[in-house]
Chain A
Amino acid sequence: MNILLPNPRYLLVGESALCVEFGDRIDPALHDRVLGLDHALALAPIPGILETVPTYRSLLIHFDPHCLTTEDLIAAIERREATALPATEKKSWRIPVCYEQPYAEDLSEVAELTGLSPETIITLHVQAIYRVYMYGFAPGFTFLGGLPEALAISRRQAPRAPAPAGSLTIAGGQALITSMAMPTGWYVLGRTPVRVFDLRRPNIFLTDIGDEIRFERIDAATFARLDARAASGDPLVTPL
């Protein structure tokens, strides 16, 4: 075991789940440890584990209490943690984004909040390299880390009207790709024609947790063309 890394904390989540917590921050190194354990459990499953939920800093393990006790699960994980963590396979994606109106609904609001020009905001957003940290809120809602500090604005006091699927939103120092229209406290900067959640595809969810994402700026005409293709089931993008 790497002595520079503190031991994870095992936190009780009822009798049918266990939280393995590696820290309390948003940090790529912490996230790598979460994914390392997740990957180790996928490669050599512990009987009784039903599913795992990686987040920024912890892995939630749902299990069947008929097959496994919390105590035995902790012991099994500790044996695994003591061995070297296998590297996870991380894919890299280039996602097209249109920052023109009507897709960049809240761009001027973000300009007011940050004191930056709309063009600077777009440049900062499109040039950053993002990591998929977790999913949450609704199926396919992709939470990204890597947003430049200059764009770290707070959430809205009250939610705005629902933003359509494919919206690129920011708030609380994070970026998000949405998958369905829902009211949101975040700010909409652009829209992608890519469906990050599509029940018609074999890979219903586009990306895996840990993947790298870069954005590619497209104009409204390109958006319209790609959107029509995506509407008929084309994933539009493949991992690099």
Chain B
Amino acid sequence: MRTTGEPSLQVLAALPGATIQDGGRFGHQRHGVTPAGPMDWAAFQTANLALGNKPGAAALEIGAGIELACLNAPLPLAFCGGAYEWRRDGHSLPSSARLVLQPGETLSCRPGPQASREFWGAWTYCAVAGGFATPPVMGSRATHTRSHLGGIDGRMLQKGDQLPAASNDAAILAVTREEGEIDATWLTPHRSPAPINLRVIPGPQDDYFSREMIERFYAGPFRLTPVMDRMAYRLEGPKIVHAKGYNIVSDGIAEGAIQIAGDQQPLVLMADHQPTGGYPKIAHVIRADLGHLAQARPGASLRFTSVTLTEAREALFALEAAILTTPRSIRPFYRPPTTESLSRVNLVDGVIDALS
């Protein structure tokens, strides 16, 4: 039991899919260790930067819904990501915001109407000032449920879990900051009926497919099936037939790999991908677009466009530069002025002068 007065969040209720994630458990893929980390790294980093945290600090990833209560001390936190509806003590909040939760207050979220109407917004993130202080495993707090590593006992969060926040300078600084909506234009939801366009780099096994099949792959479109989780997203669409069979001797795998197995349909390997595997990979989704793909919900239409390495790098650097503007992109909530706040900003003298 915790006996200190450090702030923490208590899980009052959790639907499946809520885990602690940090930047990822890297450095052990050669020994079979999956990096894990956030599904939408751009939204994850935005939530952290809104509090002055390091971009990879441990935060909460939510895939269906959660209800939390603040314990012990005021806790600055920030949330953003998919199309979720957030409430503090039952009162509606914007879908991206920074605020200070007071002890005893509750915070809850669930997917908004956009999730089913526009097939968008699968994941949302909640960061706390200083990050969560769950025990690191092999240098990371990221949860990988299949190998039971990280987070809370290597599993999804459940009712009763207590998530301690690390108290540090970032927390103290953030307490003094104003509450507001995070205006993260780089996380703009996909609202058009047109397919979500995902930029990819061809390879490494694009030579396992004929030119005709490659053209068919880029023509698409594909639909995201309900078979989607942190490990992989299964798509359905035109059949992509292999020219040289589909069993290859295992090689390494990176996030965003588009694998075509015996069913001739794309399977995109996501944050919980295994480090090695044995099916041909026709292309890789570029890092800048991994979050767009991650936020797709079953039924979403997707299309792939081939880009060069230079275009992929430029897209990544541009997105990262936008994310760095997070601290300047917070619009304070409107709150009716009180006598105390008015005297603090020294408007009173001016008012009296004007009246006299």
Contact = CB atoms under 8 A, between A and B. Distances in A.
Contacts of A54: 30
Contacts of A58: 251-252
A62 B29 contact: yes
B284 A13 contact: yes
A146 to B, nearest CB: 16
A153 B27 CA distance: 34
Interface stretch (A15-23, A85-93, A231-239): A15-23
A199 B137 contact: yes
B274 A14 contact: no
A62 B249 contact: no
Contacts of A19: 203-204, 251-252
B251 A62 contact: no
Given A17-B254, A53-B252, A58-B251, A139 B286 contact: no
Interface stretch (B100-108, B145-153, B164-172, B338-346): B145-153
Give the interface size bracket for B toward A: 35 or more
A184 interface: no
Nearest to A61: B252
Given A21-B204, A69-B309, A140 B32 contact: yes
B221 to A, nearest CB: 21
Interface string B142-165: 000011110000000000000000
Contacts of B252: 13, 17, 19, 53, 55, 58-60
B28 interface: yes
Interface stretch (A95-103, A130-138, A219-227): A130-138
A150 interface: no
B320 to A, nearest CB: 9
Which of A66, A137, A180 has the most chain B CB atoms closer than 10 A to its own CB?
A137
A56 interface: yes
A26 interface: yes
A56 B278 CA distance: 11
A11 B249 contact: no
A71 B312 CA distance: 13
A12 B204 contact: yes
B4 interface: no
A55 B204 CA distance: 15
Interface string A179-200: 1101000000000000001010
A23 B213 CA distance: 24
B58 interface: no
Interface in A117-160: 134-141, 143
Interface of A: 11-17, 19, 21, 24-26, 50-60, 62, 65-66, 69-71, 134-141, 143, 179-180, 182, 197, 199, 204-205, 209
24 contacts: A12-B201, A14-B287, A15-B287, A15-B312, A16-B287, A25-B249, A53-B275, A55-B276, A59-B252, A60-B251, A60-B254, A62-B29, A65-B287, A69-B313, A135-B30, A135-B275, A136-B274, A136-B275, A137-B32, A138-B34, A138-B146, A138-B274, A139-B149, A199-B138
